[in-house]
Amino acid sequence: MARGCSMAGAAKVALLSAEPMRSHLSSILALSLLAACTSVPEQPDTCNAAPAQSQLGETYTEALGQKLQELTGATILRAVHEGDPVTMDFRPERLTVVWNDAGQVVKISCG
């Protein structure tokens, strides 16, 4: 070990050089916690599937899809065959119409 240098001195230098980093990390942590506290504004529920439930069992056509969209107030229409894969993201303005092999509407839901 070099003369005049000790492990305690080296540790002290390491601690002093780490202080600005700790301060910076503390600031980042504080900002992250504040960001987590902000609320997400609620989106209005623009689709109401209840008025369309009377159409269950009807044969699905493009015209029926438009009618269902008008009945529910949905701005997006997703028409899918029963069992087909669909995304699971929630869209309050979307109407999903599911039909079976016979072409009959078996499910009408929003989201």
Q: What is the pLDDT of residues 35-80, one digit of tens each?
A: 666 665 555 668 999 999 999 999 999 999 999 999 999 999 999 9
| Same domain, yes or no: 19 and 54 | no
The beta-carbon contacts of 35-39 under 8 Å, at least 24 apart in sequence, are none
Q: In terms of Cα–Cα distance, which of 73, 11, 89 is closest to 108?
A: 73
| Same domain, yes or no: 85 and 106 | yes
Higher pLDDT among residues 86 and 32, named by residue: 86
- Number of structural domains (the chain) is 2
| Same domain, yes or no: 60 and 105 | yes
Is pLDDT above 70 for 2?
Answer: no
Domain that holds residue 33: 1-38
Is 43 part of any domain?
no
| Same domain, yes or no: 7 and 27 | yes
pLDDT at 28: 64
pLDDT at 60: 98
Is 58 part of any domain?
yes
Is pLDDT above 90 for 13?
Answer: no
| Same domain, yes or no: 67 and 104 | yes
Output the six-digit token pair for 2.
């070099």
